[in-house]
Amino acid sequence: MTALMKIQTFIQAYAQAISSILESDVTVVDNELIRVAGTGNYAAEVGTTIAHAKFFNRILETGESGIITNVEQDPNCIDCEKRAFCKELADLAYPIFKNGAVVGVISIVAFEEKQRENLLKNRAKLEEFLKYMTMLLESKLYTAEARDRLEQQLQVVNDDKKGWSFVGKSKKMQEAIAIGRKVAKSDSTVFLRGESGTGKEIMAKMIHDLSQRRDKLMISINCAAIPENLVESELFGYEEGAFTGAKKKGAIGKFELADKSTIFLDEIGDMPLHVQTKLLRVLQERKLERIGGHKPIPIDIRVICATNKDIEQMVKEGTFREDLYYRLNIIPIELPPLRKRKEDIPALVEYYIPYYNQKLNKHIQGVSTEVLQTMVNYNWPGNVRELKNIVEYLSNIVEEDEVQLSDLPDHIVLRSAKGYDAWSLEKIMEEYEKRVLSNMLKEETSLEDKERLADTLQISRATLYRKLKKHHLL
């Protein structure tokens, strides 16, 4: 497919707009001489190969504009098979460029004597007009190319993480999933609420993958990760020369990139107030303007946003627009923290151990009863993300088939509500002693190192060796 044919719908609308302004018919062909767009007599011939190939071929080869002032006498028309019954009286054509190469031709066609007279009389002005029209088309071609390239890059990333999955059967999580499934088919805005690490992005992917927009990539943007002065340009794009340092030809924004798809605005509570104002207008009008632009661009998107902040409190404090809050909070979905769905912890541990076994080429069979009890009783402030990180840590350091309590990081055990439940004080002290010695003891420690360690701990070398032997650390 040629570059022009990739944006055929846009070019057809473009040709119709020019035709209305000039009160003459307009046609566009690509470098394979296929009619990409046409008005009037040529509207029904879009997608077919043109007849007057010699004239357009010369423009494609030379990159220079041309004109046919009289079909009956012009040399370009002598060999045309449709010359005898051609309805064209005159034709002014201009090349369309991309990266310095001619990719097509746009022409103004006169089918009436009055149109022909106007075309010949105002040739210079019309040629200048077509020059600027082709420059706008070239800009659109660059935008389309950038969008295709970015979609390809996103596809590579998504191929590795395609799909979504929720582990566990807790009631609160199943209720959230059920709501997400119900609303997936609609285009209503979804507002995901929950602490960091509870699975808001996974829920967004699920909703998109079950929607009618699933054939296009969901565009995700973390509002907290973008410098405040760049948020607006990242979301809405900008035109060439919009600000110092702006790229030549401008840049497409994430909203425009998400046309016909879903945009996921993560950490929307961190969006600056001035950008909130523009976002509200875009959501209301379903149109946007790039920075430095003056032409509204229609968009067809489904919005999913997420936050871990108290948005209602932010509204009261004036740091989040109330009207935007009501525009976004159409379908709120609350994702519970892991401490409120602890019945899912065993299933999560069981899910991630084989995952990291395969990824790290390990062979851990599971965790001990003490380890599982400790993990269940820990509050997991980082939620599922923290649990996943801990399992990855264990997969890296554990050499045995089963994870033991001594393998868990200190903060997990010490902050677990019942980490040492049913343990005697002596056993707790022994476990802690083993942890201290394990952390301080280097692998293949020399005799001198052990002597220094005994001095550091203020115990005799014999006592140190006895403790190391008891804890199987020799």
What pLDDT was estimated at residue 3? 87
d(CA 19, CA 41): 12
d(CA 189, CA 172): 21
Question: In the beta sheet, which residues pair with residue 238?
Answer: 251, 291
What pLDDT was estimated at residue 250? 78
The per-residue pLDDT for range 287-328, each reduced to its tens digit, is 998 888 888 899 999 999 999 999 999 999 999 999 999 999
What pLDDT was estimated at residue 410? 80
d(CA 62, CA 59): 5
What pLDDT was estimated at residue 443? 56
What pLDDT was estimated at residue 79? 67
What pLDDT was estimated at residue 442? 63
What pLDDT was estimated at residue 232? 87
Cβ neighbors of 280 (< 8 A, separation 6 or more) are: 321, 323, 324, 327
Cβ neighbors of 142 (< 8 A, separation 6 or more) are: 98, 249
What pLDDT was estimated at residue 160? 44
What pLDDT was estimated at residue 162? 44
Cβ neighbors of 464 (< 8 A, separation 6 or more) are: 450, 453, 454, 457
Q: Give the residue ranges of the chain where pLDDT is below 70.
A: 51-52, 78-85, 149-164, 244-245, 417-425, 428, 442-445
Tell me, what DSSP letter sits at residue 92?
E
